[in-house]
Amino acid sequence: MFSTFISTLTFNFVSLLAAVQPTVPNSAVEFNWTGTYIIVGASLLALLIIPRTIEEPHVGNKMPLPFPSLFNNPSVGTFLAAMATGHIVGIGAVLGLTNLGVI
């Protein structure tokens, strides 16, 4: 009984692999410095906006940033949240612009 189940499972898995496209087209985009600038810009924009929208941005250790008043003197947690948000938005922008053929 168990061996029949294993052989059926193996057969289904092999059939699934056979149904997959045997060759994958080269869809990789070559490295482009433009994407780096877009992600850095999105991260800086997020660093300007996020500390002003978080409920308690000054709780915890302060991040030693230049121009603390410009960045609202954020804590380490606020800084990490802003950088994560900036990277997510920046990667989305780079992928979207690459898809549109702008980059």
pLDDT tens per residue across span 12-49: 555 555 555 556 555 566 676 888 999 999 999 999 99
Give per-residue burial for 3-23: e unless 16+ CB within 10 Å, then b. eeeeeeeeeeeeeeeeeeeee
3-state secondary structure of 83: helix
Which conformational region is residue 65 in: left (phi greater than 0), alpha (psi within -120 to 50 degrees), or beta?
beta
How far is it, in rounded angstroms, from Cα 6 to Cα 18?
18
CA 74 from chain center: how many Å?
Answer: 22
**pLDDT tier, 80 (very low <50, low <70, confident <90, very high otherwise):** very high
DSSP designation for 62 = B
Looking at the predicted structure, is the pLDDT value of residue 61 above 70? yes
Look over the chain and give the mean of its residue pLDDT values, rounded to a whole number: 78
In this prediction the pTM is: 0.65
Looking at the predicted structure, is the pLDDT value of residue 67 above 60? yes
